[in-house]
Amino acid sequence: MAADPFAKPADHPEFPAQKVGVLLTNLGTPDAPEPGAVKRYLKQFLSDRRVVEIPPIAWQPILRGIILNTRPKKSAAAYREVWTDEGSPLAAITKHQAEKLQQRLGDGVLVDWAMRYGNPSIPSTLDRLWKRGARRIVFAPLYPQYCAATTASSMDALSDWLGERRWQPAIRTLPPYHDNPLYIEALVADLKRQLSALDFEPQRLLLSFHGMPERTLHLGDPYHCHCVKTARLVGERLDVETDIAFQSRFGRAKWLEPATDTVLKHYPTKGVTKVAIAAPGFSADCLETIEELGIRGREDFEEAGGTDFARLDCLNDGDEGMKMLEALVRNELHGWTNKGTE
């Protein structure tokens, strides 16, 4: 009898059963609230040309000569104020989001999480998903508003990983969802719940988004427009008067305005002394929300004469946010079940 032409040769490599994977990513955070760890993280973050769009020949001497010798100590002290038993809030919350999404989607899908800067890194997590059999991957950077510094930078990390591979998985990426009714609905429900639990009635709700250099708007980045649209859609559905501002200015260039700290300092001069603040552009609470808004923002406001201040939580891994995330990801998974790909 002739040999079976379809038989697997003895030296054929083993391939695992093919699965569908989902990778949630967020910005990144240091491994520890210590100057050394913060320096490593900032070096990677601020060397990304999507983040600082200054030619490296001019920027790297400033980064290495000044910023990395001064900022890590100050930032580490700020990180210490927000650090938890589970580590950095951003990493801990992203991990919880992935665990809860795994429960919601069931065993048919592999859910993992990664950080664009620091750990667990995007390439190492893609390696792990691949080894577990993921041959179709939904790549989900958790930025509702598209920005080159965040969304495109995450895509760069994905493309770099793909570029190293012979056998590439099929990829779907989660589009920005700044005006997706599921996101707006989740924010409105979550903010209403938090506002009604306050022991004072705010005269304003300030929606604070991470800032960007103003020139990125003129270079064609849709980030500003996405933030404004989110704020408008949310504000229209709440009973409290809503303002928008941009936080976390970095460097000397002009950034998007109005700046959050300036708005907080001016409120009392206009008779606005009771304020709530929320950060709908952040999927998870982090240094920028807990420390910058919750601690420094409160100080700015109270020193200017404000009497009542509340920082509202991000969607995090709460029910409203998880319901939204499940629906957004299921939409991208459409037609991608393990049936037929095993």
Ligand X SMILES: C=CC1=C(C)c2cc3[nH]c(cc4nc(cc5[nH]c(cc1n2)c(C)c5CCC(=O)O)C(CCC(=O)O)=C4C)c(C)c3C=C
Q: Detail the residues annotated as belonging to a binding site for Fe(2+).
A: 210, 288
What single DSSP character describes residue 152? Answer: I
Q: Is 39 in the site for ligand X (CB under 6 A)?
A: no
To ligand X, the closest distance from the beta carbon of 336 in angstroms equals 28
Distance CA 209, CA 263 (A): 13
To ligand X, the closest distance from the beta carbon of 82 in angstroms equals 7
Residues touching Fe ion, count (CB under 5 A): 2
Distance CA 124, CA 130 (A): 10
What is the per-residue binding string for Fe ion in 220-259, x denoting contact by CB under 5 A?
----xx----------------------------------
The option from Fe ion, ligand X, none interacting with 225 (CB < 5 to 8 A, set by class) reads Fe ion
Query: What sections of the chain are H helices per DSSP?
Result: 35-46, 56-62, 68-82, 89-105, 122-131, 153-163, 181-196, 215-218, 223-236, 260-266, 298-303, 319-333
To Fe ion, the closest distance from the beta carbon of 87 in angstroms equals 19
The interface with Fe ion within residues 169-228 (CB under 5 A) comprises: 224-225
In degrees and rounded to multiples of 5, residue 214 shows phi and psi of -60, -30
The option from Fe ion, ligand X, none interacting with 287 (CB < 5 to 8 A, set by class) reads ligand X
Q: Is 190 helix (H, G, I), strand (E, B) or coil?
A: helix
Q: Cβ neighbours of residue 61 under 8 Å, at least 6 residues apart?
A: none
The option from Fe ion, ligand X, none interacting with 121 (CB < 5 to 8 A, set by class) reads none
Contact 118, 12 (CB under 8 A): no
To ligand X, the closest distance from the beta carbon of 181 in angstroms equals 21
The option from ligand X, Fe ion, none interacting with 212 (CB < 5 to 8 A, set by class) reads ligand X
Which residue's CB is nearer to Fe ion, number 17 or number 219?
A: 219
Q: Is 75 in the site for ligand X (CB under 6 A)?
A: yes
Distance CA 297, CA 107 (A): 42
The interface with ligand X within residues 90-149 (CB under 6 A) comprises: 90, 143, 147, 149
Sheet holding 274-278, edge to edge: 242-247, 204-210, 274-278, 308-311
Residue by residue, DSSP assigns 55-107 as -HHHHHHHIIIIIHHHHHHHHHHHHHHH-BTTB-HHHHHHHHHHHHHHHHH-T
Q: Is 282 in the site for ligand X (CB under 6 A)?
A: yes
Report the greatest alpha carbon distance in the chain.
95
The interface with ligand X within residues 192-221 (CB under 6 A) comprises: 210, 212-213
Contact 141, 97 (CB under 8 A): no
Task: Specify the stretch interacting with ligand X by CB under 6 A; choose among 1-9, 157-165, 284-292, 302-310.
Answer: 284-292
Closest CA to 208 of 272, 264, 266: 264
The option from ligand X, Fe ion, none interacting with 147 (CB < 5 to 8 A, set by class) reads ligand X
Q: What are the residues binding Fe ion (CB under 5 A)?
A: 224-225
Which residues bind to ligand X, rule: CB under 6 A? Answer: 27, 29, 51-52, 71, 75, 88, 90, 143, 147, 149-150, 210, 212-213, 248, 250, 281-282, 286-288
